[in-house]
Amino acid sequence: MTTNLLDTIHDPAGLRHLTRPQLKALADELRECVLQNVARTGGHLSSNLGTVELTIALHHVFNTPYDRLVWDVGHQTYPHKILTGRRERMPTLRQLGGMSGFPRRDESEYDTFGTAHSSTSISAALGMALAARQKGEDRKSVAVIGDGAMTAGMAFEALNNAGVERDARLLVVLNDNDMSISPPVGALNRYLAQLMSGHFYAAAKNVGKTVLGPVPPLFQLAKRLEQQAKGMVVPATLFEKFGFNYIGPIDGHDLDSLIPTLENIRDLMADRAGPQFLHVVTKKGQGYKLAEADPVAYHGPGKFDPAVGLVKPAVAPKQTFTQVFGQWLCDMAAQDARLVGITPAMREGSGMVEFHRRFPDRYYDVGIAEQHAVTFAAGLACEGLKPVVAIYSTFLQRAYDQLIHDVAIQNLPVVFALDRAGLVGADGATHAGNYDIAYLRCVPNVSLACPADERECRQLLTTAYEQDHPVAVRYPRGAGVGVAPLADLAGLPFGQGEIRRRGERIAILAFGTLLHPALQAAERLNATVANMRWVKPLDTGLLAQVAASHDVLVTVEEGAVMGGAGSAVAEALAAAGIARPLLHLGLPDRFIEHGDPARLLALEGLDASGIEASVRQRFADLLALVPAAPSLQTVGGGR
């Protein structure tokens, strides 16, 4: 891979002396650099290939990092990272101890705001712009937001706020990468975009207001003519109603259009001409034909050969929990016409593609709008339907008020299928589902199940669906231990766990998929293991039985220890007046970085060896009294 120009760029300042032809050549090199690196490490590809020219143009025109650049979601910032001195770290992308796949303030001064959840950029950039104004600084703030992120209410809340700040040096760049706008992106539109962003156009509008303002009929006529003229070449827009100067759409891969337009906008911002809105059209996967043809498949691929593309494995991988959910959803929908499925823009990620195909009239993708998704489900439930909200654990955090106010207080039968519970690996702390146990179990009327494997996941989803109140079922990303789900739709007893291994003196209470490393540790410790299955309602009968027959208890969960399942056990024991030494094993009170999930669990002491080591360290004296484990102590599990 030849990178003659890219080799010379160590920071954005190096871009600013390049000629336009050199910048175009640099774009080709940068795109190839992104492709080759993502192919080696895995990561987000389509979105990054689509932002190469836009990234170059922004850093070329604006004085970053003095001017603030905020990337929404942040999964399209690989070109930005490469151009801001991190090219040599790209081989460590999303690896343990390596570079994050998202912007991080502690990683580079060019990462002005940490992002990974959608629709936060405009709010953050507006805050930066108004802080600069308050401090008397002339810095400019730019938010780059994708069209998908514009479906979230938070983006419009920010637009509503920004529109009244007439002297804010703020630019919002809408990266329209789904080609949903008709393509007025040729030479004529390029000229009009530059004209509309220039001083002449701004001055003409101001003169019109000054001269014609005292004569309302003429002013209104002029205003209508202006709107109609713009309407011939640009789509109707509500952004000007928010108080923004709307410019575009323009071709986001055409540096001859992007750079002069951004230069004009930069000058308008210097003159405090009000908040600016630039609409650019880009193509996901740009420059790599396979990603252009299937941007969804190449959104977040694992390692692959760029010359070959993605290849299906010769041996089918184990079924994932997401696939188990998707199959259950279809099967239950076929049995019960009341079922409706809801996703906040995560059809593929949540395993709902087949459900959408088979039951299109009962499938609702509400966009990146988690708050709306939950209250929408509540409205459906009020009318006798049975909504299932498929949502990542980390994204349900965004709808916590709706969960409490609209679902739980009214005690509505909504099922929450919480994908990506626990550590998620390469996406890191922003996407980890570490907190759902703690934030759900404190809400009245809400129950929470933690299946230990694929079979239990299907069964507990059925149990949740059968209830007449809100129930969440949490399950991790990826595959389990390979326990095949049963074909029927039978559930498991509500709020009941089971003993999976009988041992001596020490009892391990496992919640969720950590049951299996707990069983391995228990073999070496000769400990009893309970598969608790439910955090709420907690099986207090099983807990009392185990506490009465063992000297110490150990809780194990892939969730935050503070306020988690172990805390629920401690509270239940205290309420029952039972005193037993307790060891809580789970995720610590700190954010855990990106890396291989199994490796991360091992580092936190939540693999079999780590569980064993923690128990031996805490209860060394007691273990000296425990007889050696006889063989075959594990009892049957599941149905």
Residue numbers annotated as active site: 284, 370, 398
Distance CA 418, CA 407 (A): 16
Sheet of 363-365, strands arranged across: 363-365, 339-343, 386-392, 415-419, 471-474, 447-449, 534-536
Distance CA 433, CA 392 (A): 8
- Residue 439: other Cβ atoms inside 10 A: 17
Q: Where are the beta strands (DSSP E) in 122-272?
A: 141-146, 170-176, 245-251
- End-to-end Cα spacing for the chain: 56
Distance CA 70, CA 4 (A): 29
Token pair, residue 249, equals 């759409």
Q: What is the DSSP letter of 583?
A: E
DSSP readout, 458-496?
HHHHHHHHHSSS-EEEE--SSB-S--PPPSS-----TT-
The amino acid sitting at 555 is: T
The phi, psi pair for 73, rounded to 5°, reads: 60, -55
535's CB contacts (< 8 A; 6+ apart) are: 437, 440, 441, 448, 449, 450, 511, 564, 565, 568
SS (H, E, C) 253-299: CCHHHHHHHHHHHHHHHHCCCCCEEEEEECCCCCCCHHHHHCCCCCC
Contact assessment for residue 525 and residue 615, using Cβ atoms and an 8 Å cutoff: yes
- Residue 120: other Cβ atoms inside 10 A: 23
In Å, how far from its chain's centre is CA 616? Answer: 38
CA dihedral 502, 473, 332, 489 (to 10 degrees): 10
